[in-house]
Amino acid sequence: MKFNPKELKLTLFILVPVILRALTPVLLKKASLSMEEFTLINVLTNFLYWLSFALFFVMALTWQIVLRKTALSYAYPYTGLSYVFIMLIGYFYFNENISISQIAGVLLIISGTIIFVINKDDD
């Protein structure tokens, strides 16, 4: 596996929509928790909901840029990492519990992504 600065830059750019994909549901949860009553008016006037919609839009735009620069079959496996970020945010920010099976699943996702990236270089 050779170090390729151009591929490293692309990989880091692929992580932008992946991270945004993880942050969007976090903001949606935060928005729903901030309301005393879940009504359409409360949703439409909640800044966090609008911010989550904006993040989703930015995520979609950055994902389109990623797809223009690389193959879908290369970029898409990285999206699994959003589950890793969501689990960590849930644990550290919302004080959610993490089970052994969740940890095992996350380790499989990370391992699979690493194997995928290493095998991509063999092509």
The tens place of each residue's pLDDT in the chain, 123 residues long, gives 566 777 778 888 999 999 999 999 999 999 999 999 989 999 999 999 999 999 999 999 999 999 999 989 889 989 999 999 999 999 999 999 999 999 999 999 999 988 887 776 555
- In terms of Cα–Cα distance, which of 64, 76, 67 is closest to 116? 76
Report the alpha-carbon distance of residue 19 to residue 40 in Å, rounded. 28
* One-letter identity of residue 76: Y
| Domain encompassing residue 93 | 5-122
Question: Coil, strand, or helix at residue 25?
Answer: helix
Instruction: Provide the domain count of the chain.
Output: 1
Asked if 84 and 113 touch (Cβ cutoff 8 Å), the reply is no
pLDDT at 54: 96
pTM summary value? 0.83
